[in-house]
Structures are given as structure tokens and as C-alpha cells.
Amino acid sequence: MPRQQQPAARPAARPVRRRSYDQFDATARALDSVGDRWTLLIVRELLGGPRRYTDLHADLPGVSTDVLASRLKDMEQSGLALRRKLPPPSAASVYELTERGHGLLPVLAALAEWGAPALAERRPTDAVRAHWFALPLLGALTGLTREGVLEVRLEEGEFHLHVGLRAGGGAGFVLPGAEAYGAVYGYGPADRPDARIFLGAEVCLELAQGGATLTEAVKDGRVEVLGDGPLAAELRGE
């Protein structure tokens, strides 16, 4: 009986090479890793701590599932992020920044400061999330000397920050219990905030751009401060 001819083996797929500027320059090398559309916005989201894929997709309106998956894979390969499974009983996986990925914090903060003047008017098609105001607001709060967790409430939602002496040192932008390169801000209300502030998005942007100080905004009633501790007292200018 004649032997059946075995189908020819398919050649192994070659790994896809990411596009590169092919320039021996630090800026070009950095853009090789973070220059693709959506990458820095994913970093912005992960600066708030580990996120599930579905949460990232929900807070990045406009990104397709294929593009988001591709960017996350690229970030893993570049050493900017990693994926890990949560311990039982949860079966979910989360993405989080590595130390190198967290090193992009000053880049995002500078971009937020540079781009703030373009937010003079909100377009009808603009999406918004409360925590997108976290990085701009952090810059306006660096002069605080009392350390603590500050809960921020906007009409768009809530988030919380760790402010005070530690926050003035760059890498000190972390929430209690986080690693040295942990969360810069937290989603939603804080468990035990040392103070709470209520303000509008326009006031938040004005503070970020230096158009007013927090003390001025509190005195004229545009920022409401709640709390009885030292941090709340400093926020009220007492």
C-alpha cells in the first residue's frame, strides 16, 4: 500500500518587528516604545494602579479592542507593563506598570501641563473621566506640607491623591501601602481620607495652570474643603 504523503510543514512565523526610527538618539528610542497612538494614555490609566482589560477599555473611549490588546502586548515586550493574575478566588488578570513604566510619570505630568491651555473649551464630542484631572491637580498641590490622603470630588466623579511632603519628591507620588513605583492616584472615593475637596472641572484646570491658588479658590468659595485634621486645616489656609 503506497505511503500517504505528509503535508509539508509550514515555515515558522517570523516575529513581527515593531517599527523603529532607527536613530541612535534617546528621544527616538523613547518614541520607539511610547510613540504609538494610545500608549501614553494607557500609561495614564495604569498610573492609578493595576487595571483589568475591561476597565482599561471602558476608560479609553475610542480605542478598539484589537488596538488596545496590541498596545498592551507591545508595552509588555518593552518592559513598561506586565500582566499578572489576581490571587484566588478571583480569576481575573490585571495590567500594571513596571518601574520603567512608572518612570513616565514626569513625562505625563509635563504633557498635561503643556496641553492644559487647549482645554479652554470642551467640545461636544469630548469624553471625560474624573481621574483624568489627577495629574494636573497634583502639580497644583505640591506646596502642601501636611501629608495625607485627599479625596477629590468633581461633577464627573471622584478620585483620591496622596499629597504633602512625600508628594513633593517625584517618586513620592504614591498612595499609602503602594510600592515605590505604585499608584499615583486612586479611582473613586478613598477608604479613610484625611480631607475632601469639592470643585468644578474648570476650577481644577485653573489651579493646574496657575491661574489661581488653592487658598484663593477656597476663600472665594469655588473649592469646598471638608475635614477636621491638619491637612484640611492647611487646605483652608488656617
Q: Are strands 195-198 and 148-154 parallel, antiparallel or unpaired?
A: parallel
Interatomic CA distance for residues 175 and 48, integer angstroms: 9
Q: State the DSSP H helix or E strand holding residue 77, giving kind and residue range, or none if neither.
A: helix 65-77
Q: Which three cell numbers stand for residue 162?
A: 496622596
Using the structure block, give the residue that is written with the C-alpha cell 474643603: 225
Interatomic CA distance for residues 76 and 73, integer angstroms: 5
Give pLDDT tens digits along the chain (238 positions): 555 555 555 555 444 556 899 999 999 999 999 999 999 999 999 999 999 999 999 999 999 999 999 999 999 999 999 999 998 888 899 999 999 999 999 999 899 989 988 998 889 999 999 999 999 898 888 888 898 999 999 999 999 998 885 544 443 444 444 444 568 899 999 999 999 999 999 999 899 888 998 889 999 999 999 999 999 999 998 8
Number of alpha carbons in the 13 Å side-chain half-sphere of residue 113: 11
0.75 exceeded by the pTM?
yes
Question: For residues 176-208, b (16+ Cβ closer than 10 Å) or e, as one string?
Answer: eeeeebbbbbbbeebeebbbbbbbebebbbbbb
**Cβ proximity of 49 and 96 under 8 Å:** yes
Q: What is the pLDDT of residues 70-120, one digit of tens each?
A: 999 999 999 999 999 998 888 899 999 999 999 999 999 899 989 988 998
Amino acid at 14: R
Q: What are phi and psi of 150, to 5 degrees?
A: -110, 120
Residue 167 pLDDT: 44
**Cβ proximity of 148 and 165 under 8 Å:** no
**Residues, the chain, total?**
238
